Amino acid sequence: PAHPEVLPVGTTLDRYIMHRQHAFAFATGELSQLLRDIALAGKIVHREVNRAGLIDLTGEVGLQNVQGEAQQKLDVIADVRFRRALTNGKEVCALISEEEEGILFTGHNNGKYVVAIDPLDGSSNIDVDVSIGTIFSIYRRITPVGSEPSVEDFMQGGHEQVAAGYILYGSSTMLVYTTGYSVNGFTYDASLGEFILSHPDIKSPKNGTIYSCNDGNLDSYDEAVKKYLTVCRQRQYSARYIGSLVADFHRNLLKGGIYLYPPTSKNPDGKLRLLYECYPLAFLAGVTGCLAVNEQEAILNIKPVSLHQRTPFYIGAPKMVDELLECYKNEK
């Protein structure tokens, strides 16, 4: 379909979504409604995040999720909020979440979509007022509408995503998403209760001077990664690492940079999860001109085999990612 005309800064998310829907003759409106449901849950989580310190929402729940991480109260609250919004909307027949081991069936078997979500990204930053996020990935189901959805709906592979994005609860709250044509950022105006288009058609710089990784793991990184990081230091690039993937990615996207989560002794397959962290950011990044890879292939080409699988993850300005891959080639 033709590229729909770009709307001006200041357009509300609702209006933007409606405009896009009309621009695509085939759009039935369900995806639009689904995106609105995500925005609604995002507003609710924004509210919870902003008052967490006042109403006893900080700290651990005392339970572990399927990946063995201690769940924070806001991890669970965000999970519940997104699940509820996506269930109430009726367009989603099933979802998977970082915080839930198996598939969650919404009971709406007529829903055409499935969603993979990291409800709250950057758990370790919740209690210290540092930026955190939400990451989401949307597929059109492949099982027949009306039937029970199944695991295959989630195993379609990164290229099949129909929309993906994130919400960053930072110095402002922002929703950034794509349906594959352009990436647009909407800043939340809490006084109006609206997301407003503030960053139309985001493109990544071709090159950058920021690198982001957990330096404490350096000793267990691959030789190629160590070499690349040495080059970054020789060039006096800036080291920036928040420890919230969404926030690190967003900064690098706007300013030009590379994010690295290599294999470590603690996490030999890397730490980040393919379906609800790496795929959605890789899909969105691709539209902006970024590259997203592990040491072997493009992230979107990785064959999914399980709901919570992990992968090493390198994402950012194309020139920087290419240089990292060069280091891997030279190691062979």
Residues 60-89 binding ligand AHG (CB under 6 A) are 69
Binds Mn ion (CB under 5 A): choice among 30, 79, 91, 98: 98
Q: Write b or e for each residue in 156-170: b if 16 or more Cβ atoms lie within 10 A of its Cβ, otherwise e.
A: bebeebbbbbbbbbb
Stretch in the footprint of ligand AHG (CB under 6 A) among 41-49, 52-60, 196-204, 243-251 = 243-251
261 known ligand binder = yes
CA distances from 223 to 63, 217, 226, 230, 328 (A): 36, 13, 5, 10, 8
Question: Given the rule CB under 6 A, which of 43-51, 115-123, 155-163, 225-233 is the region that contacts ligand AHG?
Answer: 115-123
Tokens linked to 130: 């540092």
Question: What is the C-alpha R_g of the chain?
Answer: 19
123 binds ligand AHG (CB under 6 A): yes
Q: Which of 122, 158, 165, 205 binds ligand AHG (CB under 6 A)?
A: 122
Are 158 and 300 spatial neighbours (Cβ–Cβ below 8 Å)? Answer: yes
Phi, psi dihedral angles at 303 (to 5 degrees) = -80, 125
Q: Interface with Mn ion includes 37 (CB under 5 A)?
A: no
Q: According to the binding rule CB under 6 A, does residue 243 interact with ligand AHG?
A: yes
301 annotated binding-site participant: no
Q: Is 118 in the site for ligand AHG (CB under 6 A)?
A: yes
Nearer to Mn ion, 98 or 295 (CB): 98
Does the annotation place 172 within a ligand binding site?
no
Q: Is there a binding annotation on residue 40?
A: no
- With H, G, I as helix, E, B as strand and everything else as coil, classify residue 154: helix
- Closer to Mn ion by Cβ: residue 116 or 196: 116
Residue 170 contacts ligand AHG per CB under 6 A: no
The residues, ordered by sequence, that sit 6+ positions from 191 with a Cβ below 8 Å of its Cβ are none
Count of Cβ atoms closer than 10 Å to residue 180 Cβ: 14
Binding mask 255-274 for ligand AHG (x = CB under 6 A): ----------------x---
Question: Is the Cβ of residue 69 or residue 100 nearer to Mn ion in the bound state?
Answer: 69
Q: Closest Cα to residue 261, out of 225, 235, 285, 308? A: 225
Q: Identify the residue among 37, 91, 98, 295 touching ligand AHG (CB under 6 A).
A: 98
Amino acid occupying residue 218 = L
Tokens, residue 235: 């060039």
- What is the token pair recorded at 263? 């294999």
The one-character DSSP state at 145 is T
Strand, coil or helix: 19: helix
Question: Known binding site for substrate: residues?
Answer: 121-124, 214, 241, 259-261, 271
User: Applying CB under 6 A, which residues contact ligand AHG?
Assistant: 69, 98, 118, 121-124, 214, 243-245, 271
User: Applying CB under 5 A, which residues contact Mn ion?
Assistant: 69, 98, 118, 120-121, 123
Question: Known binding site: residues?
Answer: 98, 118, 120-124, 214, 241, 259-261, 271, 277
